[in-house]
Structure 1
Amino acid sequence: MSKFIGAVLILISLLIGYIGINKIDDNAKEVNLLGLRIDVSNESEKQQGYLYVGLAVLLFSGGIFVVNKTTKA
């Protein structure tokens, strides 16, 4: 049962990480207009994306820990 929980944590972390990376990428836009560089990024959405990626890293490491703990026992 613990292996299953670890696997679910890993899958959820991959999904959340994918969503976070997409949030970061979608909100980092730059436009060059007549030699002027205009940055039209949304910083709050980028921060939310970084939080998602951080949460994904924590869930992934927790899932790896749970899977490794159950294989040693």
Structure 2
Amino acid sequence: MEINKIAGIILILGSLALGYLGINKISENTTSVKVFDLKIDMSNESKKEQGYIYLGLAVVLFSGGIYTFKKHS
């Protein structure tokens, strides 16, 4: 295997892991409770923002991995 393909695979796997962490951060920090007709939304905005940053970085890593994997030397 060429070094470009190995690096591409590593970037793609890293992006999947980072995306998984981002999705978990977003879902863990969003909670809503419904009491009678009142809906209370409790969320940690800074942790949700960190999750969105993780997702953005995952997209960048994934596209870089695809580019590196398909690149012809």
Task: Name the one with the larger helix percent.
Answer: 1
Identify the TM-score tier after normalising by the shorter chain.
Answer: over 0.9
Equivalent-residue separation in structure 2 for 1:34 and 1:13 (angstroms): 42
Partner of 2:69: 67
Name which of 24, 27, 36 aligns with 2:26. Answer: 24
Partner of 2:43: 41
Alignment RMSD (CA, Å): 0.8
Say which is worse superposed, 49-58 or 28-37, in terms of deviation: 28-37
Percent of paired sites with the same residue: 55
Task: Name the one with the larger strand percent.
Answer: 2
Task: Provide TM-score, normalisation by structure 1.
Answer: 0.92
Q: For residue 2 of structure 1, report the CA deviation from its aligned partner.
A: 1.3
Task: Provide TM-score, normalisation by structure 2.
Answer: 0.92
Gapped runs of 5+ residues in structure 2?
Answer: none
SS at match of 1:25: helix
Gapped runs of 5+ residues in structure 1?
Answer: none
Q: For residue 34 of structure 1, report the CA deviation from its aligned partner.
A: 2.2
Equivalent-residue separation in structure 2 for 1:27 and 1:33 (angstroms): 19
Equivalent-residue separation in structure 1 for 2:16 and 2:9 (angstroms): 11
- Which 4+ runs in 1 deviate beyond 3 A? none
Partner of 1:56: 58
